[in-house]
Amino acid sequence: MMAHWLRRNWPLLAAHVGGCYPLASLLLDAGRGRLTANPIQYITLHTGKPALVLLVLCLACTPADRFFALRPALRVRKLLGLYAFGYATLHFLIFSVIDYGLDVSQMLNIVAKKPYALVGFCALLALLPLALTSTRGWQQRLGSTWKKLHRLVYVAGLLAVTHYIWLVKSDVRQPLLWAAAVGVLLLVRLPAASPLAAKSRTWVRRQLTRAQ
């Protein structure tokens, strides 16, 4: 029974485990007093990074299916997106409530003047309607608009990596790697990539049947 459930639902299980892990490890760090000498910065970074990673994984789901016939990826796409939104929201709450104590004038000052804060905020705003309309009900209600609306996730991805690039002191190599990942995941969605996707998918399928 359990084995059957696992065989059917392992992608969901993996997504939940992956989605909960960063928060669990953060809470564990907090319990052990291991949030460094600058704990607020630590929890800010350790909610921002998971948000980006989960968003990139979410963006990878569709290409994973199209290029590698990885059907299960489509089942976790929404979940990964929601987790990414969850971490982005936490990240923003830590910034606004804990770091700046809801000092609106100071925050507005920062968001207006500092591109990196503004860009991060816009990424969160881009994700908000997607999270709100992520249910099947909304999907049906919005019909074809839903798909168009959810292309906002591409914008969110680009804004999120820009936010990351602008935040580091000088060494942008790691942020650029994430930006490259987002870039590739967006490029492979272009119509020009479709023939390649089809070819790759057929090839993978053939290998799989042969293996069986």
Q: Which residues are near other proteins by CB under 8 A?
A: 26-27, 30-31, 33, 35-41, 43, 90, 93-94, 97-101, 106, 109-110, 113-117, 166-167, 169-171, 173
What is the nearest approach in angstroms of other proteins to the Cβ of residue 40?
A: 7
Beta carbon nearer to other proteins, 14 or 30: 30
Q: Given CA atoms 95, 100, 103, 106 in this order, what sign does their dihedral have?
A: negative
Beta carbon nearer to other proteins, 122 or 142: 122
What is the nearest approach in angstroms of other proteins to the Cβ of residue 57?
A: 23
Beta carbon nearer to other proteins, 97 or 184: 97
Beta carbon nearer to other proteins, 93 or 208: 93
What is the nearest approach in angstroms of other proteins to the Cβ of residue 12?
A: 23
Tell me the one-letter amino acid at 18. Answer: G
What is the nearest approach in angstroms of other proteins to the Cβ of residue 101?
A: 6
Beta carbon nearer to other proteins, 101 or 195: 101
Beta carbon nearer to other proteins, 93 or 184: 93
What is the nearest approach in angstroms of other proteins to the Cβ of residue 166?
A: 5
What is the nearest approach in angstroms of other proteins to the Cβ of residue 197?
A: 36
In this structure, are residues 175 and 165 in contact, taking their beta carbons and an 8 Å threshold? yes
Secondary structure in 3-state letters for the chain:
CHHHHHHHHHHHHHHHHHHHHHHHHHHHHHHCCCCCCCHHHHHHHHHHHHHHHHHHHHHHHHHHHHHHCCCHHHHHHHHHHHHHHHHHHHHHHHHHHHHCCCCHHHHHHHHHHCHHHHHHHHHHHHHHHHHHCCCHHHHHHHCHHHHHHCCHHHHHHHHHHHHHHHHCCCCCHHHHHHHHHHHHHHHCCCHHHHHHHHHHHHHHHHHHHHHC
Q: Given CA atoms 111, 112, 114, 116 in this order, what sign does their dihedral have?
A: positive
